[in-house]
Amino acid sequence: MTKLELAQQHGLSPREYETICALLGREPNELELGLFSLNWSEHCSYKSSKRFLKRLPTTGRRVLQGPGENAGVLELENDWCVVFKVESHNHPSAVEPFHGAATGVGGIIRDILSMGARPIALLDSLRFGELSNPKARNLLEGVVAGIAHYGNCIGVPTVGGDVYFEDAYTDNCLVNAMCVGLLKRSDLKRAVAQGVGNKIILVGARTGRDGIHGATFASEDLIGEAEEKRPNVQVGDPFTGKLLIEATLEACRQPELIGLQDLGAGGLSTAPPEMAARGGVGIVIDIEEIPLRAEKMTPYEILLSESQERMVLCVRQGAEQKFLRIYRKWGLEAEVIGEVIAEKVYRIRHEGRTIAEVPISALVGGAPEPELAPLPPGNPHPAPSPWKGEGSERFGARSGGEGRGGGLKQLIQLLRSPTIGSKRWIYQQYDHTVQTNTVIGPGAHDAALLRVKGERFALAVTMGGNGRYCQLDPYEGGVRAVCEGVHNIVSVGAEPIGITDCLNFANPTDPQVLWSFERVIAGMAEAAKALELPFVSGNVSFYNQSETRRIYPTPVVGMVGLLKDIEQRVPMGFQREGDRIYLVGKLSGRVGGSEYLRVLRPSPPTPLPFEREKGAVRRGEGLDELEPTDLELERRLLGAMLALVQRRLLRSAHDVSEGGLLVAIAEKSFAQGLGARLELDDLSEEMLFGEWPSRFVVTVAPEHEGALTELLAGVPYKKLGTVGGDALELGGERVSVEELRRAYETALDL
C-alpha cells in the first residue's frame, strides 16, 4: 500500500495528503498520518463550515468567553458566571445507542468541567424515525437508557430538551447533549499550555482501545454494517466521571494549575496540540508513561484512543506531585506524560526515541478548506399543496362535515402525535432533582429554571429546533430556531442572554447540503443580531446520511436566560377560574410546515427530487410555505412580554409552536385541570393549528386587563376567552381536559 493509499484509508484526500507532505517537507509516517486524520477531520477542524460560522455574532456585554474554548461563558450577577455548550454524538448513537448516548453526556460534562465550572444541568435534543418503525423504537429506548444511566449516576440533573419523530432520521438518529455549569469569575480556567518546562499530566481513567478513530467515524457517511463501526464507539463509566468532577474541581483551586483540557474527540492526538496552539508553545509526550488498561497497545492505538473520563492538565514545574496526590486520593490514575517545550511542535517519544513530530500550526487550523461551493436546488421548495390553506375555510368545508367542532376532534388526534404528545416516558427516567437546584423541570414549562443557591436570581435553560422548517425554507428555519429558544426563555419570565448551537446536516460535499447550511446560518445570524444575542459556543455535525436517507437540515439551539428575581417566574398552565386568555403577537398566518398537516392532511406520495432520497419532504404534502418571521415585531413582542413580567401582570404564559394555538391552549389546561371557554370567530385550520411565528398565549386576572392592553401598545393581541370549567369549549362543542390529557399522555405509549 502506498502512502497516499494509506492516507486515504485514514480519511484524508489526495489534496490533503499533498498539503501534509509540503508542510512537513517529507512524507509522514503512519502515526503522523493518524494525527493529521483526527485533527483535520470535519468533526475537529470545521474545515467545511468555519467560513460560514464567522457570520454568527459572538460578542456582547455579558460575554466572558466566546467560541474557541471548550465552552462559552457569560457573566451573571454577583461575580457568578454560567458556562454552557452543546455537542453531538449522532453516529455513535446510531450504531450503539446506549453507549453512544451515554458517552455523549459524559463528553459534554467534561467540556464544562474543563472551564473550571461545576456541571449543574443537562439537556438533550433527540431525533428519531417514525415511532411505528421498530428500528426507531429500539434506538429511542437505547438512547434514553444511555442518557439516564450516565446522567443519573454522575449526579447531574437532566432538566430539559426535545424529541421529534420523522422518517428522515430513521437511519441517522440525532443525539445532541447540552451541559450548563456555574463558576465564579476568578475560577475560570482555559485549555492552554504555557511555560517551557511545565508538566503535562494525564488524569482519570486508563487508556484502552475503545473509540479509536471516533472523530473520523463522525466525519463520514453512516454506510455499511453497523457491527463494523462498533470499535469506533467509546464506553463510559459515570462513577469514574463523578470522581473526575470532584478531583478536577479541587485541582482547579490550586494556583499552580495553568490549563486543562478534556480528552474528547481524537483523545491525545488532538487535545495536547490544541492546548499548545493556544499558548504558542510545543509539547512533548512520552507515550510509555500513559497508564493502559489493555495489553500490547501500539503507540498508534494509544494516541488515537478516545477512552472516556480522561483529562490533560498543564501544571507548573515542581508542583506535579501535588496534583498527582489529588487525583490518586480520589482513586484515579494520574501520571506525568510530558512537558511544554519551546519548539512549536507536537513530539511523540517512545522509550527515548522520537516516533512522530509535527508542527503545531500544521495540526491545529492547518486543514485546507475543501473546494466546495453552495448550490441551491433547482426547486428549493416542494410544489404547492391543495392544503396550503388559502383563505379561511372552516373545518366543515374540508373535513367531511365535522362542523365547527371538528377542531377539537382533530386536536385529540394531534395530541396523540409522538412529536406533540407528552414526553413523560422519557423524562421520568431522568433524575432532574439531584443537586436540588431545579425549580421548573422537564414537562412543566417551555424552559427549565434553575436556582443559584444563596442568590435571588435564577437561570432559565432550553434546547431545541425544528428540522422540517429548515428542509422547507433553510433561512426561515434558521430564524425560527433562534426565536423559538427566545420564546421558551421569555415564557418563564427570563431575559435571553446567550446561545450555543449544534448544527446537524448531511454530507457537505453535496452542494445543495452546503447551500442549506449557508442559508440556515444566515437566518440564525440575522435573528441573533436583531435580538442582540451572542453565540458563545457550538458544534457542527456533518455526514448524517445513509445510503437511502439524509436528515433534514437540523440546527439545534441551546439558550440561557437570566431571571433576576426568582419570585417573578411565570407558570405555563392556567392558574385560576375566571382569568382572561389572550393571544399576544402575530394574529394570522399560514398552516404550511405544521405538524397538523403532516399528521392529518398528508397527500399521496409523488416522485422524489432524488430517486433514493427517502428522507426528503415529499412534494404535494402541503408542508411547503412558511410564514416569514418579522424580526422587528419579535423585538417589540419580547420587550412587551418582559415588561408584563416585571409588572407581575401575567398569571401564565406559553409560546405557540408545534401544533399551533389549540395545542398550546390544551397544554396550558393540563397543569391544574382547568379548562377554557374559547370565543373565536375564526375556526380555520390556519388559526387553530398553524405554526406561524411570534405568538404567546397568556392569562391575566380580570382586574389587570387594562394594564395588559396598555403595555401591549404597538403589539397585536386578541382576547381568546376565559379560564374555567373542566373542558375546552369551542364553537358550541366541548372536550374534557381529562380526555385531552389521556390522548397527550399516551402518545409515547411504548
DSSP letters, 19-55, are: HHHHHHTS---HHHHHHHHHHTSHHHH-TTTHHHHTT
CB neighbour class for 105 (10 Å; exposed up to 12, middle 13-18, buried from 19)? buried
Identify the residue whose cell numbers are 479509536. Answer: 212
DSSP letters, 559-628, are: EEEEES-GGG---SS--STTPEEEEEE------TT-HHHHHH-PPPP---SSTT-TTSPPTTSS--PPPP
For residues 31 and 146, what is the distance between their CA atoms, to the nearest angstrom?
A: 33
Name the grid cell of 645: 413580567
DSSP 102: H
Using alpha carbons, select from 320, 371, 340, 375 the residue that is nearest to residue 514. Answer: 375
Do 442 and 161 touch, CB atoms closer than 8 A? yes
3-state class (DSSP) for residue 438: strand
φ, ψ at 710 (rounded to 5°): -65, -45
Query: Residue 400's CB: how many other CB atoms inside 10 A?
Result: 9
Task: Assess whether 89 carries a catalytic annotation.
Answer: yes
Helix axes 134-154, 97-113, angle to 10 degrees: 40
For residues 750 and 654, what is the distance between their CA atoms, to the nearest angstrom?
A: 28
For residues 464 and 489, what is the distance between their CA atoms, to the nearest angstrom?
A: 12
φ, ψ at 47 (rounded to 5°): -65, -30
Query: Residue 540's CB: how many other CB atoms inside 10 A?
Result: 21
The residues that bridge with 502 in the sheet, in sequence order, are: 539, 556
The residues that bridge with 177 in the sheet, in sequence order, are: 87, 124
Active-site entry in 10, 89, 445, 654? 89
Q: Of all helices (H) and strands (E), which one includes residue 490?
A: helix 474-491
> Is beta strand 652-655 parallel, antiparallel or unpaired with respect to 695-700?
antiparallel
For residues 38 and 440, what is the distance between their CA atoms, to the nearest angstrom?
A: 40
Taking the C-alpha atoms of 262, 264, 267 and 271 in order, what is their torsion angle to the nearest 10 degrees?
-50
CA distances (Å), 237 to each of 92, 103, 206, 244, 736, in order?
16, 8, 11, 11, 47
Do 192 and 258 touch, CB atoms closer than 8 A? yes
Residue type, 271: A
Helix axes 511-530, 631-646, angle to 10 degrees: 40
Name the grid cell of 467: 428540522
Residue type, 129: G
Do 540 and 53 touch, CB atoms closer than 8 A? yes
CA distances (Å), 67 to each of 47, 50, 501, in order?
15, 11, 11
Active-site entry in 43, 213, 432, 654? 43
Name the grid cell of 387: 392544503
Q: How far is CA 623 from the centre of its chain?
A: 24
Name the grid cell of 298: 501500539
For residues 91 and 100, what is the distance between their CA atoms, to the nearest angstrom?
A: 8
Which residues are known catalytic residues? 43, 89
